[in-house]
Structure formats: C-alpha cells, structure tokens
Amino acid sequence: MHKGIAIYPGSFDPPTNGHLDLIERGAKIFEELVVAILRNSEKSPMFSVAERLGMLKELTATLKNVRIDTFNGLMVEYAKSLDATCILRGIRAISDYEYELQMALMNRKLEPTLETVFMMPADKYSYVSSRLVREVAQAGGPVRGLVPEVVEQKLREKLDPAYKLRDARQIAVLGKRDSDRREKKRKKKA
Ligand code: PNS
C-alpha cells in the first residue's frame, strides 16, 4: 500500500459505476484516497455539487480510507493544501489518453512533486461516461448497470418530477395489496 494521500479529482456528474470501480481500486492501493469534486466547473452541471457530494458519500460509506471533498481553482494547489502526493485518474480507452496526458503534464509543470497515477476501470465499464449516462437518461433510455442504484434513482427523480409521486402511490398500492392478502389469510385460518 502506498503511504500518503492520493486525490481522485473530477466532475462526477453523475458518479458512474466506472468511477466507483476506480475508487475501489484506488482505495486498495493508497493509504488515503480523497475523491475531490470540482466546484467551479464551466459546464452547467445536471447535479449540484451538494447532490454529487451526497451521492459519493453514500456510495463510499463502507470504504474507510476514502473521503469525499470539493475543491475550487487549481487542482495542484488543492493537492498541496492536503499534502497529497498522487493524483489518481482513470483511463478507459486510447481516446482518453491525449486529454489525460495533457492534463498530467500540465499538472507536473505546475507542481513537479505531484505524481499522476493512471488506473483502468473494469473493461465492462470502458464505454461508460457521465456525459453518455446523462444523454441516455435525458432521452428516457435505461442506465441500469451503468450507474449505482442510488444514482439511477436520483436521475429518475431529476428528469421526471412526477416520479416521486408515482413511486409513492405505487408503494401505497402494493402495501394495500399486501395487507389485504394478510387479512384474507387471517380470516381463512379463523
Ligand atoms: O471528470 P473531469 O471533468 O474529466 O475532471 C476534470 C478535472 C476536474 C480533473 C480538471 O478539469 C481539473 O483538475 N480542473 C481544475 C482546474 C485545474 O487544475 N486545471 C489545470 C489542470 S490541467
């Protein structure tokens, strides 16, 4: 296990199974892993920083050496403020390489003591990205298996405000059906 703190920075809008896979792998290698959500992104996000923070906290609750945080400005400055020694990033396919290389070299120029470490998520997630998940979900497609269940639920609530209401009604109907069935059984026995 690598002593010290590593940072896994990103937008996580929303967190995917690929992100979670990488966090789990990183947690096995680094003594402490800080998953850091960029706050001042130029992109207009689907989920607020607070929502992403909440989802990631829930998803990593059992990983004792993983912490979720947010940061503003330069990532290397944030890393220095934590005394981190490594930046963790995922590479899915060769298409990620150019952007990741550019970013890693820029970060090295800004702070030569910080090392970027690349890891690959499981190949079954090699095509999964937050952008595609948003696109599929926004068009009403299924995202099961691409994101954790809690994220799937949040996507549904975000994209279909009537969902919460429908879900609550369905739970009420199923609950009533259950209690009717129990009542029937009870009467039969009596
Ligand atoms: O998940 P993403 O959107 O690919 O993550 C990109 C992120 C947040 C890691 C990157 O944009 C970043 O570190 N931004 C902070 C500003 C910064 O330090 N820029 C210089 C890095 S080249």
Query: How far is the C-alpha of 111 from the C-alpha of 177, rounded, in Å?
Result: 63
Nearest residue to 29 (alpha-carbon basis) of 92, 120, 113: 120
Note if 130 is an active site residue: yes
pLDDT single digits (tens) 20-31: 999 999 999 999
Which member of 19, 89, 134, 154 is catalytic?
19
Is the CB of 116 inside a 6 Å radius of any atom of ligand 1? no
Annotated catalytic residue, options 43, 186, 188, 189 = 43
pLDDT tens by residue, 117-126: 999 999 999 9
Residue whose CA is at the smallest distance from ligand 1 atom 7: 10
Q: Residue with structure tokens 């068009």?
A: 139
Specify whether 19 is catalytic.
Answer: yes
Question: How many beta carbons lie within 10 A of that of residue 7, not counting itself?
Answer: 26
- Length of the chain equals 190
Specify the pLDDT at position 162. Answer: 61
Three-class secondary structure of residue 61 per DSSP: coil
Q: What is the mean pLDDT of residues 80-105?
A: 96
Predicted confidence at residue 182, as pLDDT, reads 74
